[in-house]
């Protein structure tokens, strides 16, 4: 084999092409995983706010509402480590049929839960989702 034919060989071309393509593949893969985790946590916390609103709609105490939110969060929240707001007290006269809304502000979430909404994808600037977490029911 001559020197010229050795230089024209393509023995390492597949490895070089793979190295170029695999970085894009990993960016997409990690992006999908980061968004998937954030979306899962978002749905989890929205479900928790609905549970809190359900407890508020039947005239639950603040402790019962907080416990319902914690129970509905599938372990993401525990009583006492988050803040929430309730739009109406369903135990007052004339509140039957009125809508009560429970909100979990992003600023009131524990740091471990809030960090789930910080999306860090390689080679892309990090950004934070600020979800709107609320649930509503009519007072019974």
Query: pLDDT digit string (tens) for 118-135?
Result: 998 878 899 998 888 999
The pLDDT tens digits of the residues spanning 69-125 come to: 999 999 999 999 999 999 999 888 788 889 999 999 999 999 999 999 999 887 889
CA gap 48, 70 in Å, rounded: 7
Comparing 42 with 9, the larger pLDDT belongs to 42
> 């009131």: which residue's tokens?
108
Domain ranges of the chain: 13-138
């Amino acid at each position: 084999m001559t020197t010229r034919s050795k230089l024209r060989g393509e023995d390492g071309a597949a490895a070089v092409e793979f190295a170029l393509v695999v970085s894009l593949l990993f960016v997409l893969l990690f992006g999908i995983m980061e968004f998937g985790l954030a979306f899962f946590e978002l749905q989890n916390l929205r479900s928790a706010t609905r549970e809190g609103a359900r407890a508020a709609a039947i005239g639950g105490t603040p402790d019962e509402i907080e416990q319902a939110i914690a129970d509905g969060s599938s372990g993401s929240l525990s009583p006492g480590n988050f803040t929430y707001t309730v739009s109406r007290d369903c135990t007052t006269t004339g509140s039957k049929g009125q809508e009560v809304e429970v909100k979990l502000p992003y600023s009131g979430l524990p740091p471990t839960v809030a960090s789930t909404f910080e999306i860090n994808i390689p080679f892309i600037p990090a950004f934070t989702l600020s979800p709107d977490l609320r649930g509503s029911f009519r007072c019974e």
